[in-house]
Amino acid sequence: MSEVKMVGLTIDGRTVRAAEGTNVLQAAEQAGISIPHFCYHPAFEAEGNCRLCLVEIEGLPKLDLACSTVVREGMIVRTSTAPVLEARKDVLEFLLAEHPLDCPICDKAGECKLQDYYDRHGLFPGWFLEAKEKRQKKISIGKGLLLDRERCILCTRCVRYLRKVTGTGELGVFERGVRAEVGTYDDAPIDNNYSGNLVDICPVGAITDTDFRFKTRAWFLEKRPTVCPRCSRGCAVIVESVSGYPLEEGERRVFRIRAGENPAVNGYWICDFGRAGRRDIDEGRQERVIKSASPESELSWQKALADVMARIRSVPGPERAAKVAVILNSRMTREELTLAKRLFAEGLSLDKIFFADPKPGAADGFLLTEERVPNARGVLQAGFSPRLPDLDALAASVEVLLVFGSHLLDHFSEEAVSRALAKIPSKFLFSAHTGPLDRLAEIVFPLAVSAEKSGTYINIDGLRQSFGRAAEPAPGVVSEHEILGCLAAGLGLNVGEHDVR
Amino acid sequence: MSEDAVRLIPADEGSWRLEAYLRRGGYEAARKAVTSMAPADVITEVRKAGLRGRGGAGFPAGLKWSFVPQGGAGPKYLCVNADEGEPGTFKDRAILVRNPHQLIEGMTIAAFGVGIRKAFIYVRGEYGRIAGRLREAIAEAEDEGFLGGGIFGSGFDLEVIVHLGAGAYICGEETALLESIEGRRGQPRLKPPFPAVVGLFRAPTAINNVETLANVPLIIGRGADWFLGRGLPKDGGTRLFGVSGAVRRPGLYELPMGTQLRTIIETHAGGPPEGVAIKAVIPGGLSAPALRPDELDVTMDFDALARAGSMLGSAGIIVIGDKIPILDVLKVMARFYAHESCGQCTPCRIGTSWIHKTVTRIGEGQGRASDLDHILRLADGMKGRTLCPMGDAAALPVQALVTKFRDELEKAVAR
Ligand SMILES: Cc1cc2nc3c(=O)[nH]c(=O)nc-3n(C[C@H](O)[C@H](O)[C@H](O)COP(=O)(O)O)c2cc1C
Ligand code: SF4
Ligand code: SF4
Ligand code: SF4
Ligand code: FES
């Protein structure tokens, strides 16, 4: 590996060292000095159109752009002298002159760069006496995306994103001068699996997501990072949820999922499929333990689990290998899989350990992988050889079946599964979402989804990524980790809880 | 030697034809360069001649060529700026109409000096018919072996392509011109990198104005000293001064660089018509800050006009008579820049439009006392802060009018 050459410069009197080729804006940021900017985005070449990042560079007659000026040895930069502050304020004045007063109803309010910078660098009384341009405020530009041309500050991040990142180029700038506007070509909609990123990179509320529009205010949202569970890429995502917000029937807890930053995996982007994972967290959730014999009764998962243990114990040790079966899945964390391995394979000596995962989809050549589970590598590393069960064989010999997840139905018809399960005396389902399997199980346990858990996934490239809880678990749910730990304890098996990795 | 031989705009019959050009000694300079000079010597000679760019900025042509990296396997391009969009400017058009071969010869010499084998001439869309004549001239030159493969029997080739613009002023800005030739939206690129290093199709590119290149055969044919003798010591040659507005003989005057502005207006263009006095003069195309009648004793060259707080620019002299309200001039100016801003960068996109809206409101009798100060402040917000020089080009002339003719404008505001 070639060594990165470092360059020494001074920014606001501070000595800063930055890698050769870094621009002044990045170098300042690394030193904790933030230079306001709209059009610059680290994923693209500097475009230099917003003019907000002007700074003083000693030796130059005029202010120059921090976003496009590359650091030089001995360079002296000043980011908050009177001329710089004045230039900044002027740019904000220009932008706000033609900006609507939409903040009270704008989705972006609270996390809008224009609002934030006005607050920090503006705070001037308006003196625009002319009529603002009237523009279209609600243009559908693609699936789930609305464009408000009055709010657009023409930073062209969206245009560049679609040209450089997705390569689909659906957006362009049309007309010139103050009449310049962003739009699609011949009204052909934005149609790619990465369109949601446009909402993330638009520095203002010009591109909004119909799934989020008018649903809440940004400042109510708690933003926590995790790893996306919807394919084996393992993109960094941010789950934005409300906690302690009154939850009524049908009201959201998780309002959106956005791209997190991870240079080693996804850069700044996530796919729309991953973004839509918001629904997995809030919708169709299994809310409580349901025992088919007494569906109305309130039962704690611990109590219900006692039934499971009793059924397993009722099968004599030597017969368990043949008569007790479990179906796991590759959404379980590395920790849970280790626990499962020790409990089922080593502790109970089961032979019949199967896996049922969502069906693979098509990889799209960018981030989304064929595998639609996050931890297939973790399954292998835990020592499993994942395979689907043979339903007839199961039906013929098994007396107790523990099913984790509901993806048997991705591989067998509901009818075939019902027929097989009908022949098995005791079957227990552990699932985060309600589904057709529910009625076939003796007890259904409500599981946490990955955003509600902490753990580790190993992605398609073998990268281990640990994550913490990104959303408060729905009331009453339990993680596989807790279930497995409790089962092990109840069955008197030592699974080395403290060393599950 | 007829005087026509050294004029950019010759007066002889059918001057645009190849035979006429050859009669005037045409293509001898190119032959000399290609068959007997080293490329580097061509550049040196042009540098010595003090040939400054005629497109507006006055950058020394030879120096600009020397920035294009020498050698290298990849392509390099020459782009001729024939967009001529600056209001008050009509000089390149005259060269294209009356002397296209001298431009072609200048291109050949420049391309030889810089090591370029392909050139584009970007002609403003409104000059469509003129472009036809240019294409004919190119065909004539190719037929005679002055262009194309193996020029003058040497190993030097040059292909020339005529490209028509579509009516945007901003496409005259050199990097917007490159974008436009490449088939994209015509808007300036962020510099650096400069076109000499990363230009057309990302290859090193020399960009010159028509008039700049048309001077090159004179320099190579007659020498840098001769050329300097036709102008000023550091600013050689003649200049095509286009005079329009309140004068008796509007037109194009080819005069030595450094001729007195007052002489051009009074003597050559015949001064203002009967009963009209000069109120203001814009000396170098609309973007050049206006001069008051008491500021006209200035020589027409890059440095002198810069010292006078204006610029030589395209040398299009617009004379404004005392019957014209300055507010009208301001209105035309404001509308032009608001209409022609590419809209890419914030201060120019919104500043030009804001100024236009304010000036329009004043024109409608709705002026407010603060308006003129606001306009000055807006211009300040644009100056030196935009992505391309158009921000300055739009701010400075507005600021000059408001500052220099404040009394008259105050009255218009109060009306
Ligand atoms: C807004 C704008 C418009 C311009 N229009 C023209 C033009 O129409 N013709 C031209 O030759 N140069 C024009 N220029 C100047 C060019 O950018 C460039 O400096 C010139 O073509 C270089 O040629 P020269 O060095 O031979 O003058 C314009 C510049 C700006 C900023
Ligand atoms: S984009 Fe920002 S400034 Fe504009 S309305 Fe929305 S929150 Fe307000
Ligand atoms: S829509 Fe948003 S990202 Fe696109 S140019 Fe406008 S402000 Fe920038
Ligand atoms: S200064 Fe004006 S013309 Fe130049 S890039 Fe900015 S908006 Fe476009
Ligand atoms: S961030 Fe530098 S010009 Fe926009």
Residue numbers of A between 116 and 135 with CB closer than 8 Å to B:
127-131, 133
> Token pair for residue A390?
């043979």
Residues 6 or more apart in contact with residue B93 via CB below 8 angstroms:
B84, B127, B130
Average pLDDT over residues B116-137: 97
d(CA A292, CA A401) in angstroms, rounded, equals 15
Helices B390-404, B406-414: axis angle to 10 degrees equals 80
Atom of ligand 2 nearest to the CA of A115: 3
**What is the predicted pLDDT for the residue at A296?**
81
How many A-B residue pairs are in contact by the CB < 8 A criterion? 100
Ligand nearest to the CA of A98: 2
The C-alpha angle B83, B182, A156, rounded to 5 degrees, equals: 100
User: What mean pLDDT comes out for the span B38-47?
Assistant: 98
Q: Tokens standing for B343?
A: 């809209």
Residue A85: how many CB atoms within 10 A of its CB? Answer: 12
The number of C-alpha atoms within 13 Å of B234 and in the hemisphere containing its C-beta is 7
Mean pLDDT of B319-328: 98
Closest CA in chain B for residue A172: B185
Residues of A in contact with B342 (CB under 8 A): 176-177, 180
Break chain A into its structural domains and give their ranges. 6-94, 98-209, 290-490
pTM over 0.90: yes
Q: What is the pLDDT of residues B73-107, one digit of tens each?
A: 899 999 999 999 999 999 999 999 999 999 999 99
Ligand (nearest to CA of A110): 2
Task: Look at B344 and A131 and tell me if their CB atoms are within 8 Å.
Answer: no
Residue A129 tokens read as 């006496």
Shortest Cα distance from B338 to chain A (angstroms)?
6
CATH architecture of the domain covering A6-94: Roll (3.10)
Interface touch A51/B346, C-beta < 8 Å: yes
Closest CB from A62, A153, A179 relative to B384: A62
C-alpha of residue B222 to centroid of ligand 1, in Å:
27
How far apart CA B363 and CA B334 sit, in angstroms, is 12
Q: In angstroms, rounded to a whole number, what is the distance separating the alpha carbons of residues A71 and A19?
A: 8
pLDDT along chain A (501 residues), means of 10: 86 97 97 97 96 97 97 98 97 97 97 97 92 97 96 98 97 97 95 97 98 93 97 98 70 93 98 96 92 86 95 94 97 97 95 96 96 97 96 95 96 96 96 95 96 97 97 91 94 66 38
CB atoms within 10 A of CB A58: 10
Three-state DSSP at A45 gives coil
CA distance, residue B105 to nearest chain A CA (Å): 36
Residue range A290-490, CATH number: 3.40.50.740
Q: Give the angle subtended at the CA of A30 by the CAs of A87 and A76, to the nearest 5°.
A: 55
Alpha carbon B398 to its chain centroid, in Å, reads: 20
Phi, psi at B366, each rounded to 5°? -105, 25
Please name the residue ranges forming H helices in B18-121.
Answer: 18-23, 28-36, 39-48, 61-66, 91-98, 100-114
Are B79 and B205 within 8 A, CB to CB? yes
Band the pLDDT of B362: cuts 50, 70, 90: very high
Binning chain B into helix, strand and coil, the percentages to the nearest 5 are: 50, 15, 40
Which chain B residues are within 8 Å of A54, Cβ to Cβ? 385
Average pLDDT, chain A: 94
Among all chains, which residue has been given the structure tokens 């204006």? B310
How many Å is the maximal CA-CA distance in chain B? 72
What is residue A247's predicted lDDT score, i.e. its pLDDT? 60
3-state secondary structure labels for all residues of B322-389: CCCCHHHHHHHHHHHHHHHCCCCCHHHHHHHHHHHHHHHHHHCCCCCCCHHHHHHHHHHHHCCCCCCC
Cβ burial of A462 (10 Å; 0-12, 13-18, 19+) is exposed
DSSP state string for A186-225: GGPPB-STTTTHHHHH-SSTTEEETTTTTT--GGG-EEEE
Alpha-helical segments (H) within B144-244: 174-181, 210-214, 216-222, 224-229
Nearest CB among B347, B353, B357 relative to A91 is that of: B347
From the CB of A39, is ligand 3 less than 6 Å away? no
Between CA B392 and CA A113 the distance in angstroms is 27
Measured in Å, how far apart are chain A's first and last C-alpha atoms?
32
Query: Ligand 2, from A106, A123, A154: best to mutate by most atoms within 8 Å of Cβ?
Result: A106
Q: pLDDT tens across B386-413, in order?
A: 999 999 999 999 999 999 999 999 999 9
- Cβ distance A98 to B350 less than 8 Å, yes or no, reads yes
Percent of chain B with pLDDT over 70: 100
Return d(Cα B54, Cα B315) in angstroms, integer: 8
pLDDT 10s digits, A325-341:
999 999 999 999 999 99
Q: Do B341 and A90 touch (CB under 8 A)?
A: no
Convert the pLDDT of each residue in A136-175 to its tens digit: 999 999 989 999 999 999 999 999 999 999 999 999 999 9
Angle at B169 between CA B166 and CA B174, to 5 degrees: 95
pLDDT of residue B180: 98
pLDDT of residue A498: 46
DSSP type of residue B228: H
> What residues of chain A lie within 8 A of the CB of B346, using their CB?
49-52, 91, 94-95, 153-154
Q: Report how far residue A215's alpha carbon sits from residue B117's, in angstroms, rounded to the nearest whole number.
A: 61
Parallel/antiparallel/unpaired status of strands A145-147 and A76-78? unpaired
Question: At residue A166, what is the residue type?
Answer: T
Residues A347, A458: Cα–Cα separation, whole Å? 25
Across the interface, which of B350, B380, B387 has its CB nearest the CB of A178?
Answer: B350
Whose CA is closest to A463, among A268, A263, A266, A234?
Answer: A234
pLDDT digits (tens, 9 = 90+) for A193-202: 999 999 999 9
Considering the domain A98-209 in this protein, what is its CATH number?
Answer: 3.30.70.20
Task: Compute chain B's Rg from CA coordinates.
Answer: 22
